[in-house]
Amino acid sequence: MIARCPDVILVGIPFDENSSFLRGAAQAPSKIREALHSSSANLSTEFGRDLGAEPRFRDAGDLSLPSGAVAFAAIEQGVAELLENGDRMVALGGDHAITYPIIRAFAKRYDRLSVLHLDAHPDLYDEFDGNRLSHACPFARIMEEGLIGQLVQMGIRTMTPEQKAQAERFGVEVVTAVQWTNEIGAKFGGPMYLSLDLDVLDPAFAPGLSHHEPGGVSVRDVLSAVQSIRAPLIGADIVEYNPVRDVNGVTAMVAAKCLKEVVDRMLSAAGQ
Ligand code: MN
Ligand code: MN
């Protein structure tokens, strides 16, 4: 019997209560969808796959979330339900704090998940401003709970001594912005998860972000890194887009472009 090809389900997670500096990322999912479907562009990926004519790509809308710490249980539950039939999922944040409950849901289905985390920041603080669920902390929570098998962070350019100690403690492989390689995807086996914090990009390419960290990479670099993925990519998130800071919606279009190429990898034969 031939197994059914998994669908790719898009879900919005409009939650930014754990942002340490600015709110606004909760408004991102609807703005990214608008950009994705804008008549100024089309839905074809760079490999020529028309996502507009792709029955396996479905939009589940946004999760409806309560306020406060209980939102994390709701995110975990909502994602677990989307994964029930063996489908793949790409989530639109929200701030980066949402990756922790998302990964908790994935960890129930997948042993020893490999995670590629693209970000200016390692997000490994034990706590930030007294908040252990801060968007500066998700990978500390994920690693201390042993939820995944491998974490590779790339694009990092804000490492602090505390987070360096955390990276060593948890065995995180850190590839700095200086060491960036467009071929990173080729080094992963599956199943694989991609967490894309858009502030890995230079603010020149993506002004619509809460944390402008100069010295970042280009949109082309991120697309190339995504396109180098050969392992089964079973989950992804695209986080930290902040429409309040955007200029003419340019960052929404960047997020939509990244989304298209991530979905292409999830649908590809190489990724089965
Ligand atoms: Mn982050
Ligand atoms: Mn970041």
Instruction: Kindly list the structural domains of the chain, giving each domain's residue range(s) and its CATH number in brackets, ordered by start.
Output: 8-268 (3.40.800.10)
Q: What is the largest CA-CA distance in the chain?
A: 53
Element (H, E) at 74: helix 70-83
- Counting ligands in written order, the one closest to the CA of 239 is 1
Q: Cα(239) to centroid of ligand 1, in Å? A: 8
Question: Measured in angstroms, how far is the CA atom of residue 155 from the centroid of ligand 2?
Answer: 10
d(CA 229, CA 189): 9
Query: Integer distance in angstroms from the first to the last C-alpha of the chain?
Result: 16
Query: How long, in residues, is the chain?
Result: 272
Alpha helices of 134-228 — where are they, by DSSP H?
Answer: 138-144, 161-170, 219-227
From the CA of 97, the nearest ligand is 1
SS3 268: coil
Q: Which tokens hold the place of 190?
A: 């599956």
Model confidence pLDDT, tens digit, residues 82-140: 999 999 999 999 999 999 999 999 999 999 999 999 999 999 999 999 999 999 999 99
Q: Tell me the ligand closest to 135's alpha carbon.
A: 1
CA of 262 to the centre of ligand 2 (A): 19
* pLDDT score of 80 more than 70: yes
For residue 233, the SS3 value is: strand
Pairing type for strands 88-93 and 57-62 reads unpaired
**pLDDT of residue 272 exceeding 90:** no
Q: Residue 262: which residues within 8 A CB-CB, separation 6 or more? A: 90, 194, 196, 226, 233, 236, 238
- For 88, the 3-state DSSP assignment is strand
Q: How far is the CA of 196 from the centre of ligand 1 (A)?
A: 8
Cα(6) to ligand 2 centroid in Å equals 30
Partners of 224 in beta bridges: none
| Contact call for residues 203 and 250 (beta carbons, < 8 A) | no
Cα–ligand 2 centroid distance for 100 (angstroms): 14
Q: Which two tokens stand for residue 144?
A: 């201390």
Compute, in angstroms, the gap from residue 137 CA to the centroid of ligand 1. Answer: 9
Residue 190 pLDDT level (bands cut at 50, 70, 90): confident
- Nearest ligand to residue 95 Cα: 1
Ligand 2 center to 5 CA (angstroms): 33
For residue 26, the CA-to-ligand 1 centroid distance in Å is 15
Question: Where does the pLDDT of residue 2 fall: very low under 50, low under 70, confident under 90, or very high at 90 and above?
Answer: low
pTM, whole model, 2 decimals? 0.97
The pLDDT tens digits for 124-145 are: 999 999 999 999 999 999 999 9
Ligand 2: centre distance to CA 109 (Å): 27
The residues pairing with 95 across neighbouring beta strands, listed in sequence order, are none
Question: What confidence tens digit (pLDDT) does each residue in 154-181 have?
Answer: 999 999 999 999 999 999 999 999 999 9
- What pLDDT band is residue 196 in, cutting at 50, 70 and 90? very high
Average pLDDT of the chain? 96
The pLDDT confidence band at residue 3, using thresholds 50, 70 and 90, is low
Q: Which ligand is nearest to the CA of 94?
A: 1
Q: What is the pLDDT of residue 153?
A: 98
**DSSP 8-state symbol, 214:** S
- Token pair belonging to 153: 């962070």
Which pLDDT score is estimated for 119? 98
Q: What is the pLDDT of residues 228-253, one digit of tens each?
A: 999 999 999 999 999 999 999 999 99
CB 231 within 8 A of CB 238: no
List Cβ neighbours of 38 (8 Å cut-off, separation of 6 or more).
253, 256
Are 231 and 16 within 8 A, CB to CB? no
Cα–Cα distance, 197 to 108 (Å, whole number): 23
**Rounded to an integer, what distance in angstroms lies between the CA atom of residue 50 and that of residue 102?**
27
Closest ligand to Cα 125: 1
DSSP per-residue codes, 181-245 = -TTGGGG--SSEEEEEEGGGB-TTT---BSS--SS-B-HHHHHHHHHT--S-EEEEEEE-B-GGG
